[in-house]
Structures are given as C-alpha cells and as structure tokens.
Amino acid sequence: MSTDAMLSAVATQPAAPKRRRMSTARILLIVAGALIGLSLVHLLTGADDVTSQGAIQAALQAAVPIGLAGLGGLWAERAGVVNIGLEGQMILGTWFGAWGSLNYGPWVGLLIGIAGGALGGLLHALATVTFGVDHIISGVAITLLAPGITRYLSFIVWGSAGATQSPALKPDQTVPRVSVPFVDNLEGLEKHHWFLISDLAGVLRGLLVDVSLVTVLAVLLIVGTWLVLWRSPFGLRVRSVGEDPQAAESLGINVYKYKYYGVVISGAMAGLGGVYLSTVSSVIFREGQTGGRGYIGLAAMIFGNWRPGGLAMGASLFGYTDALQLRRGSESVHALLILVGALLLALAVWEFVRRNTVIGVVAAVLGVGSYVLYFAVDTIPTALVQAAPYITVLVVLALAAQRLRMPAADGKPYRRGS
C-alpha cells in the first residue's frame, strides 16, 4: 500500500456512523428549498425585506467575515488544534488591514491584514504545538491580548484622538467592487412582487451587484480549502495529523510542521475576515469591531461538520439573521417565525420517525412556540431581535449535535514519539 493510501486511511474515521455526504445536488436542493420558503413567507406576510436586494447584500456582508473565521477554525481543527483565538486574530486583521490600506493602498493593506492574523496564528501554534499550552487557555489569552495590542498601536500611530479608531479610508484606499452585467436591470422585476420570480430577482441582485472583490476572494477560498484539504497530498497530511498524529508520525510525517501550517493558515483566514470588517463592511477601524464574529465563525464551522460546504451554509444562515436584525428587524424576524416553526415541526416529525425522541420533542416544542409567538404579538421586542443571531446559533447547534463528528485528535496534546 502506498504512503498516500495509508494516510488516507488515517485521515478517515472508519468507526464514524455512515452518513450521506452533502453533494452539490443536495446543496442546490437545500438552497432552492430555502428560496421557496422565503418566497412563501413574503407572500403570506408581505414582509418585503426577507428577499430584497438590500437584505441579501447585508446578509452577504455579514456572512463573509463569519465564513472566513469559520475557515480559519476549520484549518486549525483539521490539524488537531482548537483555535479559540480566532476572535483575537480577527482583531489583529482589522487593525493591520486598516493601517496598511491607509498607508500603502488596498491590496497591500489586504496582505498586511492577513499577515497580522497569521502572526496571531503563529503565536497560538508556538504556545500549543511547541510548548504544549492548553488550546483553550492559549486562544483566550490571544483574544484578550489582541485588543490591548491594537489599542497600543493605535495610540502610537494615530495619537490619543485615534486610540479607539483609525482615520476613515478614502475611496481609492478600498478594494474595488464589481457587478455582473445586466443583473442590476432586474430591479423592475423585483418590484413586481411576483411569487418566487421577484424573490429570485432580489436575491440575484443582492449577490451579484456591487460586490467587493474580497467577497469573491472569500468564495474562492471556500472552494480552494475543499480542493486543498480533500484533493491534495498536502491536505491529506494536514488531516492525518488531526485524526491520528502517532500514525502520521509512523509514516514519516513531521506532525509539528503540519500543525504549524494549519494554525498559521487559520490565523491568516481570520485576519482576512478582520480586514473585511475594517475595509469593506466599513471604511474605518474601530475598537470592538469584530463583535464576537470569531466565536460565531467557530459555531458555523461546527454546524458544517468541519467541512467547507456546510460551513458556508452555516455562515449564510447566521449572516442572514444578523442582517435582518440590523435592518427592519422586528417585521422581518416576526415574519420568519412562520418558516422557522414549519421547519422545526418538520424536523420533529423526522426525528420521531428515526426514534430520536429527545430531539423530536425539543424541535416540536420550539416549533409550536414559534407559532405561539407569531400569533401572540405583532412585533418582536427589540432585545429579542438583537439576540436573534445568537439564539439561532444555540438552537442550530443543539439540534445538530448528534450528527457531528470532529477530527479524532482535535485538541489533544501531542508529543513526538509518545
């Protein structure tokens, strides 16, 4: 048997329960089902914002940094290292990206921001891989350290007046935006409010009009991550050290080196997410700009079962709920209770058929509760709307917990020869 074949056996967990893989056809079917569901909500409630161009653009803008943070977590955990420090690495990316863009232009700023996040990843790798520090402690330390570093650098570079935020970027200091030709002409079709057709027009305009090139890069990175980790010898080695480092070592793999690769790439991905926040979502660095997106990115990664396609779907879900609460949140979130209730009740029936009684009961209670809330109030309280993204994270992870399978050696200490 060849070395690559043996590594492939190491990187695969034979004891894991057999599950149907998320094929492209299934993903497209889920996307189509989501669009039809949102169209029905729009038709039944008249809540235009659930599929409008503005809502989809806001959802995309919210999903990209979450997805990039999730990609960072995916690279680290596939190499067997838990990276709770994604939030801190994103913070470094926001500062270095803004500073680099102000001084050297958007593309150099992008690279400097990525390097800032990678530096945070290198620090995490040094602590966990070389010195054996607990992964959670190291990640929390980096997250606590990063705001202090950026505050100190801001004070040095921009003075006391700029200690918590940078000067605003000028238009020529931001990455260009692009649009797909003729898609913006669908505006008239969107305004007709025809079932499904107008909704599809709004979604296409939101996804393909006035899109930052950083967003395009993020999409390419999701595809590239899948190709590298699952279709290349390098990715096979990274995954093998996350599944069984002792077996990988016996096959001649330098486990430390590949763990370093995974964690540094992880920090770079998180840094790019930070650059997006300070140069695309806004045109200024602000203290506290990440707002916990590193942690939500980890949740998206777990929701996606440590795979890029599922991660992208999780980031889109969390980004969409975040976007709705930032726009006319009360009306839209209230309308979505219809769809949420239907999905939860369908999930309950499915789990009862599979004899997963506990999950079925929880889903049924939540589904009935969604309809009770919908008919009991006309508007959702502001505090509940603002909490919608975090409630979504908790509910989704709670219901998906039984189907998840993390890398076997994720978070476990490793010492050469042990």
Tens digit of each residue's pLDDT (9 = 90 or more) over 160-206: 766 788 899 999 999 999 999 888 888 888 888 888 999 999 999 99
The structural domains of the chain, with segments of one domain joined by +, span 54-309
242-256, 352-366, 375-389: least confidently modelled range: 375-389
Beta bridge partners of 77: none
Total Cβ atoms within 10 A of residue 144: 12
pLDDT score recorded for residue 43: 87
SS3 50: helix
15: left (phi over 0), alpha (psi -120 to 50) or beta: alpha
Question: pTM of this prediction?
Answer: 0.91
pLDDT in tens, 65-79: 999 999 999 999 999
pLDDT score recorded for residue 190: 85
Dist. CA 189–CA 177, nearest whole Å: 23
Mean pLDDT along residues 36-56: 87
Dist. CA 42–CA 48, nearest whole Å: 6
286 DSSP assignment: B
pLDDT score recorded for residue 386: 72
SS3 154: helix
Do 19 and 306 form a contact (C-beta atoms < 8 A)? no
Mean pLDDT along residues 32-51: 87
pLDDT score recorded for residue 404: 79
In 3D space, the residue among 403, 199, 204 whose CA is nearest the CA of residue 306 turns out to be 403
> Does residue 110 register a pLDDT over 90?
yes
CATH fold of 54-309: ABC transporter involved in vitamin B12 uptake, BtuC (1.10.3470)
pLDDT score recorded for residue 328: 58
Mean pLDDT along residues 286-295: 92
Better-predicted residue by pLDDT, 159 or 160: 159
> Does residue 89 register a pLDDT over 60?
yes
